[in-house]
């Protein structure tokens, strides 16, 4: 890995820092100043004049091994390939499983996380899927958290007809496991909750908090797919919780940007809002009889599209924040989500139209002037 000096970068960290030079070595941002002079024999100098330089995006909900299956064998979504991350500007991801806990194993999810990391991305995962009792690799939540560095917590589904309908006591037990194992491992520990259309999930969350569980461990996602669920999610965020809006579709009020606007209109603190794609997850449509009548697939390109939609009214800093600084901080990923000395060198060069032209993953060029130059093992 050769060192890189980026000149004349208009840096949004996501805070606007103005024009800076950035020196990258060993996968890290080593120095940043208004002007840097570096002389090394294998140094690459890249002129970023005319670009907005932003942190790489952090997407905490991607079905990297493919979601779906609700319509039978043929409806299983395909796996994600590495170049999709590059094209979308997603330099850090969390892999998730979904409805299919029978043919999509958690072991396979871990293998895919490690494969994508080997190819150049930064990755973690949620153990388990929709089911209760939870499905883990070591047969124990605490041991998964302790023994597997990539595991940051547990995923489960609540308030969805595809869930196992666990009760409050069972959810509290899972939260206790992730909390204690988080204490022991320094990971914090989270329960990442797929929300369906039934808002009683928030009654369970409220009772868990009332019984002493810190709200920081409860992380609901897909919060904008039903009006009453969204209303309760906004209340949850105003109590100090984080809420995650899906960029990949299904939000009842329109786009993910519309959901952000609605949350802000409901006085949700902006620093409690995160975004994720639900990439490669299925987008099934069910009729009143519970029969699937249509099926789509989530795209991780929706992340940058949502940021693009928000930037004109919120400004570039705020538009970038939910998928950089906020989510990285919420997950305890201290070296991600920002541009500063000591941070990982995960960077995007964006045009004025917010098209992605350059991508850096851990200090390596993954996209150069719109061309993907880092690809997966089986990509041409």
Q: What is the pLDDT of residues 135-161, one digit of tens each?
A: 999 999 999 999 999 999 999 999 999
Please tell me the predicted confidence (pLDDT) of residue 307. 98
Active site residue 47: no
Domains of the chain listed by start with CATH number: 4-55+338-372 (2.30.40.10), 57-331 (3.20.20.140)
Task: At 33, list the tokens.
Answer: 């100043």
Q: Phi, psi at residue 320, to the nearest 5°? A: -80, -25
Q: Which of 10, 278, 303, 346 is catalytic?
A: 278
d(C-alpha 43, C-alpha 41), whole Å: 6
Element housing 263 (H / E): helix 256-265
Q: pTM of the predicted model, to two decimals?
A: 0.96
Q: What is the DSSP string of 302-314?
A: HHHHHHHHHHHHH
Least confident of 59-63, 248-252, 270-274: 248-252
The average confidence (pLDDT) of the chain is 96
Q: Which residue has the tokens 């999930």?
A: 201
Arithmetic mean of pLDDT, 45-63: 98
Angle at 161 between CA 155 and CA 165, to 5 degrees: 60
For residue 227, is pLDDT > 90?
A: yes
Strands 122-127 and 151-158: parallel
Q: Is the pLDDT of residue 285 over 80?
A: no
pLDDT attached to residue 110? 98
pLDDT in tens, 245-263: 999 988 999 999 999 999 9
Band of residue 283 on the pLDDT scale cut at 50, 70, 90: confident
Is the pLDDT confidence value at 75 over 90? no
Residue-level pLDDT at 202: 98
Residue with tokens 């992605």: 356
DSSP, collapsed to helix, strand or coil, labels residue 297 as strand
- 73 forms bridges with which residues in the sheet? none
Assign 295 a pLDDT band (cuts: 50, 70, 90). Answer: confident
The reported pLDDT for the residue numbered 120 is 98
User: Does position 171 have pLDDT exceeding 80, yes or no?
Assistant: yes
- Return d(Cα 90, Cα 297) in angstroms, integer: 18
């Amino acid at each position: 890995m050769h060192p890189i000096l980026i000149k004349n970068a208009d840096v949004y960290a996501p805070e606007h820092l103005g024009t800076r030079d950035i020196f990258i070595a060993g996968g890290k941002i080593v120095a940043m100043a208004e002007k840097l002079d570096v002389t090394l024999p294998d140094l690459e100098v890249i002129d970023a004049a005319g670009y907005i330089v932003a942190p790489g995006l952090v997407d905490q909900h991607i079905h990297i091994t493919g979601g779906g299956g609700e319509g039978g064998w043929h409806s299983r979504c395909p796996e994600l390939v590495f170049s999709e991350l590059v094209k979308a500007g997603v330099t850090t991801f969390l892999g998730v499983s979904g409805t299919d806990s029978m043919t999509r194993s958690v072991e396979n999810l871990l293998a895919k996380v490690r494969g994508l990391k080997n190819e150049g991305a930064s990755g973690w995962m949620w153990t388990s899927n929709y089911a209760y009792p939870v499905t883990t690799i070591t047969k124990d939540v605490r041991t998964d958290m302790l023994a597997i560095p990539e595991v940051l917590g547990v995923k489960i589904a609540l308030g969805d007809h595809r869930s196992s309908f666990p009760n409050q006591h069972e959810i509290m037990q899972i939260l206790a496991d992730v909390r204690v194992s988080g204490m022991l491992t320094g990971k914090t520990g989270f329960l990442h909750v797929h929300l369906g259309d039934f808002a009683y999930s928030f009654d369970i969350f409220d009772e868990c908090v009332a019984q002493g569980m810190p709200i920081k461990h409860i992380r609901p996602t897909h919060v904008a797919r039903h009006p009453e669920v969204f209303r309760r999610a906004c209340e949850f965020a105003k109590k100090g919780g984080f809420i995650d809006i899906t960029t990949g579709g299904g939000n009842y009020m329109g786009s993910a940007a519309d959901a952000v606007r609605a949350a802000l209109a409901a006085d949700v603190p902006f620093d409690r809002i995160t975004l994720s794609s639900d990439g490669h997850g299925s987008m099934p449509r069910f009729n009143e009889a519970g029969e699937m009548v249509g099926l789509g697939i989530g795209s991780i390109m929706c992340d940058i599209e949502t940021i693009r939609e928000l930037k004109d009214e919120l400004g570039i800093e705020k538009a970038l924040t939910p998928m950089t600084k906020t989510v990285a901080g919420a997950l305890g990923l201290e070296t991600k989500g920002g541009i500063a000395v000591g941070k990982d060198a995960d960077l995007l060069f964006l045009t004025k139209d917010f098209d992605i032209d350059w991508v850096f993953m851990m200090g390596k060029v993954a996209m150069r002037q719109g061309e993907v130059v880092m690809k997966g093992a089986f990509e041409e």
